[in-house]
Amino acid sequence: MLAHFHLSLRALSGARLVACLCAWLWFCVTPALAWQETSGPILSNLDMSDANAVEQRADLFMVRKYYPEAAQLYERLTKMDPRNATYFNKMGIAHHQNQNLRAARDAYRRALRVRPNYAESVNNLAAIEYAQKNYRSAILNYLKALQLSPRDPVVYSNLGTAYFAYEKFDYAMNCYRYALQIDPQIFERTGRTGTIVHQRDIQDKGTYYFYMAKTYAQIGQFEPVLQNLQKSFEEGFKDLRKKLDDPDFAVFAVEPRYVEFLTMLDAAAQPKSATQ
C-alpha cells in the first residue's frame, strides 16, 4: 500500500500534490482527534511531578465535568502535599459533584484536620447534610461557617436555602437579603467552583421562587421580583394571586408589567366556562 502511495506521488505535482497531501492528512488525523474528544480526558502530556500542572489539569477537569478523573488528580496532590487543606477540599468537591457523598464528607473532614478553621470545608460539610435532608444539622454547620467567614455571600445563601427547606421562611429571606447586600449578583452565579459548594437544589420550586420575589420586593428590585413571580406561577405555586396582597408587593402596583401580570393571574383563575 505504501509503495502504491509513493508511486502515486510521482504522478502528481504542484497544487495537485499539496491538495492530495492535505486530504490524506485530514483523513488520518481527524478520526484520531475525534477519538480524543469522545474518549475523555488525556493525561499523557501531564507532568505528574509538577503540583501546579496537576492542580490546573484537575481544575480543568472540574470545569469539563470529568469529576472522577479530577478526584484522582486531587488525591494524587494530597499525597504529594498532605498538609495542603485546599487539595482535600477540592477532592471533596469532585466527589460531591459525582454524588459520592461519603467520599466527599471524608475529604472535607481531612481538610479540617489540616486546617480546623477552614470555612469553605465547613460550608461543604453542611452541603452534605443538606443533600441528605438533615436540615437542622446543615443549618448549624452553615452558622459555624459564618462564624469563620462572616462576609461570605455564598454561605448566607446556603443558610437561607437550608432554612427554606426547614420551612423557616422569614429566616431564609433574612439570609438571602444579607447575601444580596454583600453580592448583588449572588443568585446569578453558580458559586466559586473549586473551593465552595453553592447549594441550589430546591425541592419546592414554586414556593422558593415566591419567597425570592418577596425578598427582592423588600429591597425594591422590580425586575427580579417579576422574574421570580413568573417562575413561581410556572411551577404551579398555590394561591399566588392571594399571596400578592402582601404589603411587600404594594409598591409595584403602579408598574404596568406588574399590573399585566396580576391581570394574567386573574384570567388564569377564572373557570374555563367563564372565559369562553
What is the pLDDT confidence band of residue 194, given thresholds at 50, 70 and 90?
A: low
Check residue 6 and give its pLDDT. 44
Contact 138, 145 (CB under 8 A): no
Check residue 271 and give its pLDDT. 75
- What digits encode the pLDDT tens for the residues 204-215? 999 999 999 999
**Model pTM score:** 0.81
Check residue 201 and give its pLDDT. 86
Closest listed residue to residue 80, CA positions, set 117, 115, 54, 103: 54
**196 pLDDT higher than 80:** yes
255 vs 35, higher pLDDT: 255
Check residue 27 and give its pLDDT. 42
Check residue 114 and give its pLDDT. 98
- 208: which residues sit within 8 A by CB, 6+ positions away? 164, 202
Amino acid letter at 212? M
Check residue 193 and give its pLDDT. 56
**120 pLDDT higher than 90:** yes
What is the pLDDT confidence band of residue 174, given thresholds at 50, 70 and 90?
A: very high
**135 pLDDT higher than 50:** yes
Q: Architecture of domain 48-116 in CATH?
A: Alpha Horseshoe (1.25)
CA distance 135 to 141: 10
Q: What is the mean pLDDT of residues 129-145?
A: 97
Q: What is the mean pLDDT of residues 148-153?
A: 96
In this structure, of 137-151, 161-175, 187-201, the range with the lowest mean pLDDT score is: 187-201
Check residue 41 and give its pLDDT. 66
Q: What is the mean pLDDT of residues 6-14?
A: 43
Q: What is the mean pLDDT of residues 218-223?
A: 96
Report the chain's mean pLDDT, rounded to a whole number. Answer: 86
**67 pLDDT higher than 50:** yes
pLDDT above 90 as % of the chain: 74
Long-range contacts of 208-212 (CB under 8 A, 24+ apart): 208/164, 209/235, 209/237, 210/237, 210/240, 210/243, 211/164, 211/169, 211/172, 211/173, 211/176, 212/176, 212/187
